[in-house]
C-alpha cells in the first residue's frame, strides 16, 4: 500500500484495460454493426474522462450521454467523437447542443421543431437522431407523430437525420416476446422515415442475436463489467471496478454481545470483528445489512470470504473474521467490498437492485485510482 492511499477510507480501482477488453469483445460481437458506448452519468459512476479516453484508444468513435451538460464535458475530452444526447432536446438547449457539436436524439415533435428551427436560423443542416417509440413508452415518436411529421415534410429537410434509435424494455430476457415485438415495430416505423442508420441494441440487445445489431450498438453496463444477461447467468464480461475498504481495527466481541445500531447481530461465540472504513455514504447500500432471512453479504479479504454483520452505517461496516486465519485481516489492510470476487451483480441482487444503480452510486467519497499502465492506442 502506498502512502497515497493511507488516508483513504475506500479506494475505487477502475481497470481501464478491462474496460477496453470489454469494448473489443462487444465490438466484435456487434459486427457488422459499429459499436458505440453509453457513457452517461459519469460513465456509470466510473469517471467519464478516463473511461472516454480509454474507449477512444480502443477504437470507439460514437458516444451516448443523457444530458447536454454531459456532452459539453465529453467534448472537452474527445474533440473528434460523435456524441449523441439520449434524453432528447430540452427546451432552449438547441444552441448549446450545437455549440458542443453534439447530436440530440429528437424524441417528440416539439424537439424536432426546435432543432429544425435552429438549423433554419443558422442556415445549416445539423445532424440529429430521431428516437422512435416501440414499446418502452417513455420517449420517442409514435405512429401518429410520424403521420403528423409527414404533413410537414419541410421539418425533416431542415436537419440531417444521422440515426434512428429505439430502446429495448426487456433486453436482458433473451427470447422475451417483447423483444420481437419491439423489433417488428422498429422496422415498421423506420420504413416510414427517411432512410438512415439504425440502432436498438443496448448491452443485453447485443446478446440477443444479429437481428438486433442494425448499424450501431450502444452498450453501457457490459462495458463496465455488469452482466448483460439474465440474473444468475454467467457473466461474459471482465470486472472493471474494485471497491476496497480499509480495516480500521480488529476487536474481540464476547459471546452474547450485539454489534452496531439496533443491536441486530448477536455474537454466538467470542468473535473477532474487523471494523472496515466504508458505509452507505460510499455507495455501499444499507440494504446489505445482515438480515435473518437473507444470505450474508460477503467481503473478500486476501483469499477468504467473510460475512458482513449487523447494520451498514454511514461510514463503517463490521465483518466477522473469526473463521479466517489469524495472519489475515489486520489494521490497515484492504478488503474487497466489490470487485472480481464479490461481483456488482451479487451485491446488487443482495441489495434488491440492479448493477446499474450500484455502479452509479459508488465512490463519491472514494479515492479513485485508474490502472492505465497497459492502455495502448490502436490507431
Ligand X SMILES: *Cc1c(COP(=O)(O)O)cnc(C)c1O
Contacting positions for ligand X (CB under 6 A): 38, 40, 86, 167, 202-203, 218-222
Phi-psi region of 175 (alpha: psi -120 to 50; beta: other; left: phi over 0): left
Shortest distance in whole angstroms from residue 182 CB to ligand X: 12
Q: What are the grid coordinates assigned to 288, written together?
A: 446489505
CA-to-CA distance for 155 and 220, rounded, in angstroms? 32
Shortest distance in whole angstroms from residue 223 CB to ligand X: 8
Give the C-alpha distances (Å, rounded to integers) separating 31 from 25, 26, 34, 130, 282: 10, 9, 6, 23, 38
Q: What are the grid coordinates assigned to 16, written together?
A: 481501464
Helix, strand, coil percentages in the chain from 3-state DSSP, rounded to 5 = 30, 25, 45
Shortest distance in whole angstroms from residue 344 CB to ligand X: 12
**Residue with smaller CB distance to ligand X, 317 or 347:** 347
268 catalytically annotated: no
**Residue with smaller CB distance to ligand X, 218 or 242:** 218
The residue from 23, 44, 84, 261 that is catalytic is: 261
SS3 state of residue 316 = strand
Q: What are the grid coordinates assigned to 326, written together?
A: 489469524
**Of the candidates 16, 62, 12, 57, which has an alpha carbon nearest to the alpha carbon of residue 37?**
62
Give the C-alpha distances (Å, rounded to integers) separating 303 from 95, 281, 300, 330: 54, 26, 7, 14
Residue partners of 96: CB distance under 8 A and separation at least 6: 68, 72
State the number of CA atoms in the 13 A half-sphere of 245 facing the CB. 30
Find out whether the peptide bond into 365 is cis, omega within 30 degrees of 0: no
**Residue with smaller CB distance to ligand X, 164 or 276:** 164
Give the C-alpha distances (Å, rounded to integers) separating 349 from 88, 157, 172, 205: 31, 48, 15, 21
Shortest distance in whole angstroms from residue 106 CB to ligand X: 13
State the residue number with the nearest CB to ligand X: 220
Shortest distance in whole angstroms from residue 295 CB to ligand X: 26
**Residue with smaller CB distance to ligand X, 60 or 273:** 60
Shortest distance in whole angstroms from residue 146 CB to ligand X: 19
The residue from 25, 40, 84, 370 that is catalytic is: 40
> What amino acid positions are annotated as catalytic residues?
40, 261
Amino acid at each position: 500500500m502506498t502512502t497515497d492511499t493511507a488516508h483513504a477510507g475506500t479506494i475505487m480501482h477502475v481497470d481501464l484495460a478491462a474496460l477496453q477488453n470489454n469494448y473489443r469483445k462487444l465490438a466484435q460481437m456487434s459486427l457488422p454493426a459499429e459499436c458505440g458506448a453509453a457513457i452517461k452519468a459519469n460513465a456509470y459512476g466510473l469517471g467519464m474522462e478516463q473511461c472516454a479516453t480509454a474507449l477512444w484508444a480502443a477504437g470507439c468513435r460514437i458516444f451516448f450521454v443523457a444530458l447536454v451538460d454531459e456532452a459539453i464535458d465529453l467534448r472537452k475530452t474527445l474533440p473528434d467523437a460523435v456524441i449523441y444526447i439520449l434524453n432528447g432536446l430540452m427546451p432552449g438547449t438547441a444552441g448549446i447542443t450545437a455549440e458542443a457539436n453534439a447530436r440530440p436524439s429528437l424524441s417528440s415533435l416539439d424537439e424536432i421543431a426546435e432543432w429544425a428551427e435552429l438549423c433554419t436560423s443558422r442556415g445549416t443542416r445539423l445532424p440529429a437522431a430521431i428516437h422512435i417509440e416501440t414499446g418502452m413508452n417513455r420517449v420517442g415518436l409514435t405512429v401518429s407523430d410520424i403521420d403528423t411529421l409527414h404533413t410537414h415534410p419541410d421539418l425533416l429537410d431542415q436537419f440531417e437525420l444521422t440515426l434512428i434509435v429505439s430502446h429495448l424494455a426487456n433486453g436482458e430476457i433473451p427470447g422475451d416476446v417483447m423483444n420481437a415485438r419491439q423489433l417488428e415495430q422498429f422496422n415498421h416505423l423506420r420504413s416510414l422515415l427517411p432512410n438512415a442508420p439504425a440502432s436498438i441494441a443496448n448491452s443485453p440487445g447485443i446478446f440477443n442475436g444479429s437481428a438486433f445489431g442494425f448499424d450501431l450498438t450502444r452498450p453501457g453496463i457490459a462495458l463496465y463489467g455488469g452482466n448483460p444477461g439474465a440474473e444468475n447467468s454467467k457473466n461474459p464480461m471482465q470486472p472493471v471496478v474494485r471497491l476496497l475498504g480499509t480495516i480500521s481495527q480488529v476487536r474481540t466481541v464476547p459471546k452474547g454481545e450485539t454489534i452496531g445500531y439496533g443491536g441486530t447481530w448477536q455474537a454466538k461465540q467470542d468473535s473477532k470483528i474487523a471494523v472496515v472504513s466504508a458505509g452507505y455514504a460510499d455507495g455501499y447500500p444499507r440494504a446489505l445489512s445482515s438480515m435473518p432471512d437473507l444470505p450474508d453479504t460477503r467481503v473478500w479479504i486476501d483469499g477468504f470470504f467473510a460475512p458482513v454483520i449487523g447494520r451498514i452505517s454511514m461510514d463503517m461496516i463490521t465483518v466477522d473474521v473469526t473463521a479466517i486465519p489469524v495472519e489475515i485481516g489486520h489494521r490497515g489492510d484492504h478488503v474487497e467490498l466489490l470487485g472480481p470476487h464479490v461481483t456488482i451483480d451479487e451485491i446488487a441482487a443482495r441489495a434488491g437492485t440492479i448493477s446499474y444503480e450500484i455502479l452509479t452510486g459508488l465512490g463519491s467519497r472514494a479515492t479513485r485510482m485508474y490502472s492505465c499502465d497497459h492502455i495502448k492506442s490502436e490507431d
